[in-house]
Chains A and B, each alone.
Chain A
């Protein structure tokens, strides 16, 4: 180690420093009482929705498998409570559209005890068996992505993983659930890291923790095994430190190629919350039925970190936290930088929800009162973008609908929508929002182009030119308006 490295903090280039507001970091994780009804969307992970294996009216016990995985990129769902399946129907979801969900009426005498699961000897399992066990637990990335964990631990053919990077950054302001888990479930975390290392065949693991959590760094360091295979890296407190590619750069100094996966540089990244729960669930053979969630924000009277059963309706959680009045408030699932504002209190807490953030009237007003200006080319966004893009130029191009150019010349595809550009913009330009829209336009165009080629190749005759001509004749209307006589 050179002398310089003592003074140089482990970090990545650019990024932003939002106020951390992590007021809930000092209080231990608490439990939440069960809601009278639990709602379990079948699609609460990335990939194919799970398939229900219970019928309406059937009794279930806490921890019981109620929906199985559909194929490889999918995970099963377990009952979060003892109760009876009341319905399998469409229910509102955080993303907007109603989705197929299993609704369970909770038995009031239900205990917190999980009575489902087959304990297994973890030491006897092969890498492949561990990955299968992870899928059976229904685990997804608890950092917010909700990507099936077993898929992440499956190393693509021909690649070798040397290091498992464990993400304990929690760079989103306000959130503290990972921080609490690191403090309270340190031993589980170490077990989980061991299992994940065996699954991917990594010899080393590095736990990246932002240096605003010195107690977590200490706690984890004290629990490290003596063989030196697991290390802790205190990285700079800077958003988005917890983004995969940023953390790999900070902790290992490796750069993942544009558009590539961490496995290309021999790394797999997992969240601390995910691994700590795997460390607990895998030996017991249990499924994921609860997760740590931070309840915080100026609009919440009793903020704190809670173990929330998966499927608990948001309304129940808010009532418990003293935020019954939601009028003129903004309720966000996740952190303030990348979280999702929700329109209905009837959405459930799913596996990917790391925080519930409520902004009160004052905070909402402060944001909506900001005036907007044209881009003054200050370059703040360029100096904030962790991917080294030029958001200023991308924003101008988006303004003139030059989506193709954004993708081809200005690397729009590398944007992972962290929101740094919008955060710093003094002109209040919704940059990342425009980029999201531009990306979806490009995706749609690519799909249409693909469909056209497929039709062409299949030899089917479908005259696009004719269809467009028809549209032109009717004045561009999709549905021709019948002419009215008289």
Chain B
């Protein structure tokens, strides 16, 4: 090696690292969301697919635009914007007009994430900021539900999907009634709250209920969450705390008023609680870092969700649809 200058690498200890980086964790969350997304497409067809693609694309483009503005390298490869897009799309009704979905995606990344300084600095889950934004902006569209398993869902779109930007979407109650006989347009939570009708647990497990795209199969969400927890890409304590506290609170109410309050099983399976507990509450940047803090945080989410459902104006109470 004469004449060739040798260069020794110098680094401070530790010299080895766990082979798990941010991008790997995020990629696995994306992978865990894919089966849920696929199931949603199976239930609602082309419109659900188009909505998911639109929202995610809006998130990615906004993230890239923010990178350009701030002169930093692209952060798309950390997969976090993809997660925001997919999660956000899963909390929206499948009939949600695409342009509104794009607004939600842009709001999620721009207001929920970039404004605070990007990944790790956000104080709210960006997907929920996006949802809250369109909740306030488009209160009708975000509560317009369509039936699952409508015939012809893979050949035609729901009429509202291609509403022109800034236009009011057409009324689809006639379309929905025609598509599925006896469709009421109410979510199981709303039916329980306003009509005192309880959906059968089996309907939740198979997704035969009316709801936003990604909250209809509690079982599938649970399985995907178990995968993440088993691979240690997610803190298992959070969903356990959220679901446990929600079940305990609901059980206490059910004990005192079995007629007025549903059983804990219904509470766990309905609404966005499962999606919220497994994928929303576990957002790393906005959840506590110490195990003790995580238990308190998860427990409060569970209790508050049930309280809002029972006593608040919003039917679902969880961080997903109202």
Contact = CB atoms under 8 A, between A and B. Distances in A.
* Most A C-beta atoms less than 10 A away, residue of B1, B14, B24: B14
Interface stretch (A34-42, A253-261, A276-284, A324-332): A324-332
B285 A343 contact: no
Interface string B105-138: 0000000000001111100000000000000000
Interface stretch (A104-112, A148-156, A418-426): A418-426
B4 A327 contact: yes
B11 interface: yes
Contact of B120 (A330, A331, A375): A375
A146 to B, nearest CB: 16
B25 A426 contact: yes
Contact of B23 (A18, A371, A378): A371
A357 interface: yes
Contacts of B20: 424, 426
B167 interface: no
A374 interface: yes
Contact of A337 (B13, B117, B285, B290): B13
Interface stretch (A162-170, A428-436, A438-446): A428-436
Interface string B211-248: 00000000000000000000000010000000000000
A147 interface: no
B21 interface: yes
Q: How large is the interface on A (under 10, 10 to 19, 20 to 34, 35 or more residues)?
A: 35 or more
B241 to A, nearest CB: 14
Nearest to B4: A327
Contact of B22 (A330, A373, A379): A373
Nearest to B25: A426
Contacts of A99: none
Interface in A375-409: 375-379, 381-383, 390, 392-393
Given A370-B21, A373-B119, A376-B22, A330 B13 contact: no
Nearest to A393: B289
A364 interface: yes
Contacts of A367: 11, 15-17
A271 B290 CA distance: 33
Nearest to A424: B18
Interface in A329-347: 329-332, 334, 336-343
A392 B8 CA distance: 31
Contact of A432 (B6, B13, B22, B25): B13
B284 A423 contact: no
Interface residues of B, number: 38
B285 A422 contact: no
A337 B17 CA distance: 9
Nearest to A325: B1
Nearest to B20: A426
Interface of B: prevailing SS: loop
A330 B289 contact: no
Contacts of A18: 16, 18
A427 B118 CA distance: 14
Contact of A330 (B10, B284, B286): B10
A308 interface: no
B121 A374 contact: yes
Nearest to A392: B289
B294 interface: yes
A207 interface: no
A373 B78 contact: yes
B15 A329 contact: no
Interface string A443-481: 000000000000000000000000000000000000000
A392 B120 CA distance: 12
Nearest to A436: B12
A247 to B, nearest CB: 19
B288 interface: yes
Interface of A: prevailing SS: loop
A337 to B, nearest CB: 5
Contacts of B235: 378-379
B210 to A, nearest CB: 35
Contacts of A161: none
A409 B21 CA distance: 29
A325 B14 CA distance: 23
Contact of B284 (A173, A371, A376): A376
* Most A C-beta atoms less than 10 A away, residue of B13, B18, B117, B291: B13
A359 interface: yes
A16 interface: yes
Contacts of A327: 1, 4, 6-8
Contacts of A433: 12
B9 A364 contact: yes
B117 A343 contact: no
B8 A331 contact: yes
A359 B15 CA distance: 9
Interface string B277-291: 000000011111111
Contacts of A329: 8-9
A359 B14 CA distance: 13
A341 B120 contact: no
A45 to B, nearest CB: 20
Contacts of B25: 378, 426
Given A374-B121, A382-B289, A423 B10 contact: no
Interface string A194-207: 00000000000000
A341 B7 contact: no
Interface string B1-43: 1001011111111111110111111000000000000000000
A428 B17 contact: yes
A428 B11 CA distance: 13
Contacts of A334: 13
Interface string A1-41: 00000000000000010110000000000000000000000
A432 B75 CA distance: 26
A426 B291 contact: no
Contacts of A338: 13-14
Contact of B7 (A328, A374, A381): A328
A18 B12 CA distance: 17
Given A378-B25, A426-B21, A357 B7 contact: no
B16 A379 contact: no
A379 to B, nearest CB: 4
Contacts of B120: 373-377, 427
A423 B9 contact: no
A376 B8 contact: no
A330 to B, nearest CB: 4
A331 B287 CA distance: 39
Interface of A: 16, 18-19, 173, 324-332, 334, 336-343, 357, 359, 364, 367-368, 370-371, 373-379, 381-383, 390, 392-393, 417, 419, 422-428, 430, 432-433, 436
Given A336-B13, A423-B17, 18 more contacts: A326-B8, A327-B6, A337-B13, A364-B9, A367-B11, A376-B119, A379-B284, A379-B289, A379-B291, A383-B291, A392-B289, A393-B289, A417-B13, A419-B13, A426-B25, A427-B22, A428-B17, A432-B13
10 contacts: A16-B18, A327-B4, A329-B8, A332-B15, A334-B13, A376-B120, A377-B284, A379-B289, A427-B120, A430-B12
